[in-house]
Chain A
Amino acid sequence: MSGSIALTATGPRRTAQAFLALLWRDVFVTGRELVAFLAQVILQPLFLLFVFGKVLGDLGYTQDNFAQVLLPGVIAFTAFLTALQNTAFPLVIDFSFTKEIEDRLLAPLPTWLVAVEKIVFSTMRALVAAVLMFPLGWWVLGSVSITWGAVPAVALFLVLGSLIGAAVGLTIGTLVTASKINLVFAIVLTPLLFTGSTQFPWTSLTDLRWFQVVCAFNPLTYVSEGMRAEMIPEVGHIAPWVCTLALLGFLAVFTAVGVKGFLRRAID
């Protein structure tokens, strides 16, 4: 137990080292439970896509292009929800029961960066899940409507959607106590999923004005609409620049609230 370990790095370098070590820990653990991770993130969107995109279409209950309207929404939903759940659940458990996060809170880096690491890692997971939805969509639906030119913009919306999902997850995970997490997920998650314009284009809701207004308050709407604008521009959609602005606004608000909540839980 020599007391002479060379901890040479100082300042920003040391902070970066600690941050990457936290990130590596999460990646390492995910790598070991890859099957569980894939099952968790892929099954739900896959079935959604299969039943609503394939089965209902084949049975003639939906119009021909509905599958291609649905796919961008489902990919947006996968990114957003994966990021949200992967941030919120572990935090609730960590802060309330296992306290496993304490060792990371005592790492030599500013506490808010531990929260940022959670957002970054959940975003990484969410992006993996979202990217997987493209080949799965192709497999289930037989085709995916996207051009190479649309890829950068699609990537931007997926990154923004994942980041916001993670920030919302950080907010929920630090504001909600373990005893209320089931309740909160029931009353927050379900409405969030069905008002996110994943299953319908937002602009087509003009005859259902109140619902359109409700949907406008859901960040997921702008991810879905942005994705749709890039992947099937012929369907009516919110302008991509509006989506981008709205998403940046949501990201700023939820990151601020989430990090504040995290600091409140991490430091008494």
Chain B
Amino acid sequence: MKPRKFGLSSSVDAAPGRSPRQAIPFLLPALVVLAALVLYPLVFSLIRSFFDASGDEFVGLRNYVDTFTDQRTLTAFRNNVIWVVVAPAAVTGIGLVLAVLTERIKWATAFRLVLFMPMAISLFASGIIFRLVYEEEPDQGVVNAALVGVHDLFSPSSAYPKARPRDGYTPTDAGYVATAPSRAGDTIMVPLVGFPPQDVPAQALPASQPTSGNGELRGLVWLDVSVGGKAGKVDPIERGLPGIQLEAVRDGKVVARTTTGDDGRFTFPDLASDEVVVRLPESNFALPFRGLTWLGPSLITPVIISSWIWIMTGFAITFIAAGLSAIPRDALEAARVDGATEWQVFRRVTIPLLSPVLLVVFVTLVINVLKIFELVFVIAPGSVQSEANVLALQMWQVSFGTGGDQGAGSALAVILFLLVAPAMLFNIRRFRRERS
């Protein structure tokens, strides 16, 4: 017999492995750490949540009352509800569809590998990735770049955003309307300002005085912004603005349209002799479409959820695919032989057989969602963090960030614990069932 290294067993006739004392050295390190850093803190947090910020005064349930009346925390609650309702169901659904589809391709392993990859990197890095994806500036964020590209394909942006006539025109919803009427034979000068000269189209020619006559309404649109030039006068280096649209309005109706040439001159031919009002439509000066403010207060939560979907879908696919491969092929074949369509097989056979797996995936995702922290912390810019707030982040903010109130922080921690408690019971019940 070899000497026993752990000679704690004094009873000679107890078979090895039957002696409880032999378990002690094996269990001790883990138990000490768990007791000191998990179980004791749980109790401590519970007690601490009944004391005020300094920890000296017992305040009963006040921290909890404050928590449920504090606007920031309520926003965090609301967001957590949105997260729980939307995100796990979305990922489970997408995961199910993709898992079923991957059964039909030969490169399923490679596909799953690609989608699983985000699980390997940190939520911090994923946050940076999506901060860049959704960056508002279309020259940096790929989503807005794509949106602008598609938008401009269908409605090209205006040539002179923010430009405006110097004077003599009233801004209206339809555009700039001349304050004075004009008629055929007149010559009107339209000096524009508020536009950078370097952005004038390259084909623009120097502005030149339009010649009057011929019974036509003629005029000039030019950029009246040269240094040292005279306001409202055409100076030598000033250029005409090509491509500006003008409308002649009579009694509220547009009777003629025209567009300036490369030197900025325009002509309304064939106007009757009655007075008209010249109008520069808004479309000349509309601001270009710059995409959406993804990281602003209204879209921030959907944006963060989308990044979470990107991270977790691979997990759902892999988990569900494992469940799919465990479904007996006979059941599927039997249904097919009975004449069921693929959709019916999916609805009536696959999903019911898969439902235990789907439930586990769903519960797992809900737990994950309740603890969401880093993604919100990284993706939401400081100014909208209160809009995107979630409980785990609020707990950190209150206890260690700007708040510094560990009583309220403990209350939030306990609430978070209570929210995952059902999942704890779910796990324990599942564990017990699997053992028996």
Partners in one complex: no
Interface residues, chain B, with chain A CB atoms under 8 Å away = none
